[in-house]
Chains A and B, each alone.
Chain A
Amino acid sequence: MTTANADIDPTACPRCRSGTIQLLGKSPDAGIWTVFGCSTCFYAWRSTEPEENVNPEKYPLAFRLRPEDLANLRVVPTVQPRRSSS
């Protein structure tokens, strides 16, 4: 089982459209799939996934993110302040 997409490097994150794409891993059996990740929104995808997960044009609207909104996400749990040294 092979895919035509495996060797094409993506240029934009399917979810947030940033260009910050990293190659994260390759299939242990050579040439079958490649995993990419976005270092802006941390979305990850495999070259062989259904197109809605790999193609920015087909990525479902409901799950899209805007890079500028990421800073406003709720922090859970809040970071604990350091104890004062006594």
Chain B
Amino acid sequence: MHAYKDLREFLSVLGQQRQLLRIHDQVRLEPDLAAAACALTQIGADSPAIYFDRIAGCSSARVALNVHGSWSNHALALGMAKDAGMRDQFFEFVRRFQQYPGSLEHVASAPWQEMVIDKDVNLFELLPLFRLNRGDGGYFIDKACTISRDLDDWDNDNVENVGIYRLQVKGRNRLGIQTVPQHDIAIHMAHAEERGEDLPVAIALGNEPIITLMGATPLLYDQLEYKMAAVMQGEPYRVVKTAKGLDVPWGSEYVLEGRLLAGQRETEGPFGEFPGYYSGCHKYPVIEIDRVSHRKDPIYDAVYVGRPWTELDYLQAMTTSAPIFLQLKTTFPEIVAVNALYTHGLVVVVSTKIRYGGFAKYVGLRVLTTTHGLGYAKIVIVVDADVDPFDLNQVMWAMSVKVNPAGDIVTIPNLAENLLDPACTPGGIVTKMIIDATTPVVPDARGDYGMELDKPQSTEAWRTKLSALVKEMRT
């Protein structure tokens, strides 16, 4: 566990761990930055973060990409060993998640207050904005935390919200924001509109790695991301209040303060989104920025979103799996682990002990009724307790031998689904499927399952010994 004070400290650790590539050659904002980040996702599973400090037209700008873009970087973000496996990262994430709540450390000032621009704000000149995909409707800020409070419950810290929403820079000080009704900020916005008031927001850009993961986690409405970040990093989370009363991370590189305008909707999009498709255009809410603050030589942090896998899939990995796991476990203590890594949980693999014949299908149905499952889980694969859901070789073995489609596939037509799933017909409606890839047990007497193979005696002892030897050989 480690509490990184800011993005700079994390980048420095990534550098020490040989997980950061610094590019000093001159590059163009387009198409170089997005192309480099996309290429990184294609050259191996252990890709480093990348950092540019010589960008044509804005020589003082610094841009970091792919900061969370590998399991090594994700492990280091959590303060774990660089080689921690997915399964270990999952259980550690879940363990910390259950410690909620941690606390906040309020301090009076922060490095991001050093430079202030409060008139003639021009985001196109202040930020090294760049296009990610050719069909994007413009330049998007896509890895910043947007912070808001409920005007009806202003002093209640627990309903303050820190969320990552895509923000299209549409004018010099004008942003479009995507908020679907399920997002917590949509509740704040609805209350503000009912009152006929603009909603104050702060946008914190370039943060230490934990709050970014928390902003991507579907927490309950009255769970504060900073308090979850505190238990994830093992120390109180350090924040500074803006003049409007919003708590902002102490370590942010840039802070944009403004107002979400009541009653306004404007053309936004398209944007290349997490399913690997463009989102289309909609009329979305609008934010006007009044003030930009930033550190000296600020670092602009962004995530490339493309056809999976990209860095975005790491941001939506354990942060999606853990809440589903904990909700399932409340109903069924037999649940062992949940892998919701694929396309924000459109496919979910659950491993579980089996109470009795037919039980696995109930587990699959329960996945569909978790809060995240309602809008995402479309295909649920249920495997036995001794199959690691994070090891697709094992999952495919279970699918190969434990599934008889005649009795193991359940489809439920016309369920609600996220609009961004392109398989929906009509938009927002889809058929969902449960695949029971567990061994039938009494009274489910299907199949002819004899004795499963196990391992030779002392395999585990040899594994420990050989793992150390192989590691030594390669260092």
Q: Which residues of A contact B (CB under 8 A)?
A: 1, 15, 24-29, 32-33, 35, 37, 41-46, 48-50, 52-53, 60, 62-63, 65, 70, 73-77, 79-83
Contacts and interface: CB of A to CB of B under 8 A. Distances in A.
Contacts of A37: 138, 170-171
B398 to A, nearest CB: 39
Contacts, number: 124
B284 A76 contact: yes
B265 A75 contact: yes
B267 A70 contact: yes
B170 A42 contact: yes
Contact of A43 (B29, B137, B265): B137
A48 B181 CA distance: 37
Nearest to A24: B124
Interface footprint category on B:
35 or more
B56 A33 contact: yes
A15 B134 CA distance: 12
B28 A1 contact: yes
Interface stretch (B172-180, B221-229, B407-415): B172-180
Nearest to A40: B267
Contacts of A62: 135
Give the interface SS of chain A, mostly helix, strand, loop or mixed.
loop
Given A70-B267, A77-B189, A80-B193, A42 B179 contact: no
A7 to B, nearest CB: 14
Interface in B50-91: 56-61
Interface string B162-186: 0000001111100010111100001
Contact of A24 (B172, B270, B284): B172
B131 interface: yes
Nearest to B264: A79
Contact of B122 (A15, A25, A50, A76): A25
B190 A1 contact: no
